[in-house]
Chains A and B, each alone.
Chain A
Amino acid sequence: MRIINLNKSYGDKNIFENFNLECEKGKITAIMGRSGIGKTTLLKIIAGLIDYDGKIECDGNISYVFGEASLIPSLTVKQNLSYAVSHVIKDKVEREKAIIDILEQVELKGEINSYPQNLSTGMAQRVALARGFLYPSKLLIMDEPFRGLDTALKSKLERYFLKLLSKDNKTVILITHDLNEALLLADRIIVFDNRPVDITFDEVIDISQDERALSSKEISSLADRLLKILQS
Chain B
Amino acid sequence: MKKLLLKLKSLNLTNLLYPILGVGLFLLIWFIASKVVDVEMILPTPIQSLKRLFVLLGKEDFWLAVGSTLGRSLYAFAIAVLCAIVFAIIGYVIPQFAKVISPIIVILRSVPTMSIILLALIWLDSNSAPILIAFLILFPQLYASFLSSLNGISLELIDMSKAYKVPVWKRIVGLYVPEILPTSLDAMKANVSLGVKVTIAGEVLAQTFSSMGVNMQISKMYFDTAELLGWTIMAITLSYALEGVFSLIKLFAVRVKK
Contact = CB atoms under 8 A, between A and B. Distances in A.
A48 interface: yes
Contacts of B154: 70
A70 B156 contact: yes
B220 interface: no
Nearest to B254: A74
A16 interface: no
A44 interface: yes
Interface of B: 154, 156-157, 159-167, 170, 174-175, 178-179, 254-255, 257
B249 to A, nearest CB: 16
A64 B164 CA distance: 7
Contact of B174 (A68, A83, A135): A83
Interface string A53-92: 0000000011110101010111100010001111110000
Contacts of A74: 178-179, 254-255, 257
Nearest to B160: A70
A87 B178 CA distance: 19
Contacts of A61: 165
21 contacts: A44-B159, A47-B163, A48-B162, A48-B163, A49-B163, A63-B164, A64-B160, A66-B160, A70-B156, A72-B179, A74-B178, A74-B254, A75-B174, A79-B174, A83-B166, A83-B175, A87-B166, A87-B167, A118-B257, A131-B164, A135-B164
A218 to B, nearest CB: 35
Contacts of A118: 257
Contacts of B255: 74
A45 to B, nearest CB: 12
Contacts of B157: 70, 72
Given A75-B178, A79-B174, 14 more contacts: A47-B159, A47-B163, A48-B162, A49-B159, A62-B163, A64-B159, A64-B164, A66-B159, A72-B178, A73-B179, A73-B257, A83-B161, A83-B174, A84-B164
Contact of B175 (A49, A68, A72): A72
Nearest to B163: A64
B172 to A, nearest CB: 12
Contacts of A131: 164
A62 B157 CA distance: 16
Nearest to B154: A70
Contacts of A14: none
B176 to A, nearest CB: 10
A52 interface: no
A155 interface: no
Contacts of B257: 73-74, 115, 117-118
A150 B254 CA distance: 34
Contacts of A85: 164
B130 to A, nearest CB: 37
B170 A87 contact: yes
Contact of B170 (A48, A66, A83): A83
Interface string A103-123: 000000000000101100000
Contacts of B179: 72-74
Given A61-B165, A115-B257, A118-B257, A84 B160 contact: yes
Q: Which of B157, B163, B170, B179 has the most CB of A within 10 A?
A: B163
